[in-house]
A and B are shown apart, each in its own frame.
Chain A
Amino acid sequence: EPEVTQTPSHQVTQMGQEVILRCVPISNHLYFYWYRQILGQKVEFLVSFYNNEISEKSEIFDDQFSVERPDGSNFTLKIRSTKLEDSAMYFCASSPGTDYTFGSGTRLTVV
């Protein structure tokens, strides 16, 4: 069964550093997303990406965040100057337009 692949599975970074979270969506999917889940809280939408551009973003997705599809397979989330409150599980998802498949997530710990 096709999978959404995320790397790394766990990243520890110092406050103020930049991190890049990587995702390989399912190959024939057209829509890509990033969600995050702070420990014990809801899964929250960050951004959706379609046709090589952001189609929607939440209020969480401020100038600190950016997304990119640098080639035909990867989809990345960059967080500039990380803060302690960015510590969370970050999930990538992809969709053909209806249901969504989530990757296994990257646990980001900012120290």
Chain B
Amino acid sequence: QKEVEQNSGPLSVPEGAIASLNCTYSDRGSQSFFWYRQYSGKSPELIMFIYSNGDKEDGRFTAQLNKASQYVSLLIRDSQPSDSATYLCADHYGNNRLAFGKGNQVVVIP
């Protein structure tokens, strides 16, 4: 059973600050991970995926993967009020399926 844990509570950050989100996963063999953003009542929107150890940057977002420690993180730089959402970490495995974490809620305060 694939487990993806996102345990921290709602994160409040001032506008312009950096939001840092973490995710841990249970399967040491997992290879690739996705970060999605989900606004309340809406569908998940892809932010980025990562499959190599290290950092991957896309605009204001940076994903970090550490396979030895089995965690994935997402940094949001220059946070904007429109970044207020729930961020979902997902483990990509099997025959093309995703195991999602419960999400981290981010609130950006203007």
Contact = CB atoms under 8 A, between A and B. Distances in A.
A62 interface: no
Contact of A102 (B45, B95, B103): B45
Interface in B53-110: 88, 90, 94-103
A104 B42 CA distance: 6
Main secondary structure of the interface of A (DSSP, over half): strand
B95 A91 contact: no
B99 A101 contact: no
B34 A100 contact: yes
A101 B46 contact: yes
Interface in A55-111: 55-56, 58, 89, 91, 95, 97-105
A101 B43 CA distance: 9
A86 B95 CA distance: 25
Nearest to B88: A43
Contact of B97 (A33, A41, A97, A105): A33
B98 A99 contact: no
Contact of A104 (B43, B46, B49, B96): B43
Contacts of A50: 95-96
A32 to B, nearest CB: 10
Complex A-B, nearest 8 residue pairs according to Cβ-Cβ distance, in ascending order: A102-B43, A43-B100, A56-B95, A45-B97, A55-B95, A42-B100, A105-B43, A42-B102
Interface of B: 34, 41-46, 49, 88, 90, 94-103
Interface of A: 31, 33, 35, 41-45, 48, 50, 55-56, 58, 89, 91, 95, 97-105
Given A42-B100, A44-B100, A56-B94, 6 more contacts: A42-B102, A45-B99, A48-B95, A89-B41, A91-B43, A97-B96
